Structure 1
């Protein structure tokens, strides 16, 4: 026989898990957006400083050194930020799955047929 109380309880557990997952996803995307915004802000500031320094260069060797150091620091910063953002994405996926982990791993209940 169908147990409405158990079905209602299971439905509530599933809905709570879904809402918690949505909350985790929203906060994760907010963290990603903040990290990306910080990256672009810093990249713009670094580029502005580079252009100002470029205007003061008086020799080819100094220009080469300036370009090389700017390219290296830009590349290193990009790799560090990309790694950080990928870690946030991985944490986001884990957090979004966490509420559904227990119900998925739990074996389904077996309903015994009742004698007529």
Structure 2
């Protein structure tokens, strides 16, 4: 039989796990946003010093390639954080289910 204290402890641990995971995700989004802003600022600075259309196209092409690569990498990182959060969130449930489920007799 599961005690109320065990359920409360599970709830507390579960909440801490979720909060920690969400904090990591929010931090990753913040880091990506900051990097994106800095990269865009750098692009504007580079474009302001360009003297020819060819050079402007080259700078913008480099920026687009870099921005895409950063987006893909950061998206994979954030997706991994969501996956880890889901795994961490449901892992304690295995133990709780085992406590609620009567042992099978053979």
Common fold by TM > 0.5: yes
Distance in 2 separating the partners of 1:89 and 1:105: 25
Question: What is the total number of aligned residue pairs between the two structures?
Answer: 103
Q: Which runs of 5+ in 2 are unaligned?
A: none
Matched, 1:51 2:35: no
Give the one of 50, 56, 62 matched to 1:69.
Answer: 62
Instruction: Give me the TM-score of the superposition, normalised by structure 1.
Output: 0.80
> Which portions of structure 1, spanning 4 or more consecutive aligned residues, are displaced by more than 3 angstroms?
none
Distance in 2 separating the partners of 1:46 and 1:66: 12
Distance in 2 separating the partners of 1:32 and 1:38: 10
Cα contact 1:25–1:96 (8 A) shared by 2: yes
RMSD across aligned positions (CA):
1.7
Which of the two has higher C-alpha Rg? Answer: 1
Q: Which runs of 5+ in 1 are unaligned?
A: 1-5, 111-116
Matched, 1:38 2:42: no
Distance change >3 Å, CA 107–CA 13, structure 1 → 2: closer
Instruction: Give me the TM-score of the superposition, normalised by structure 2.
Output: 0.87
Question: 2:11 is paired with a residue of what secondary structure?
Answer: helix
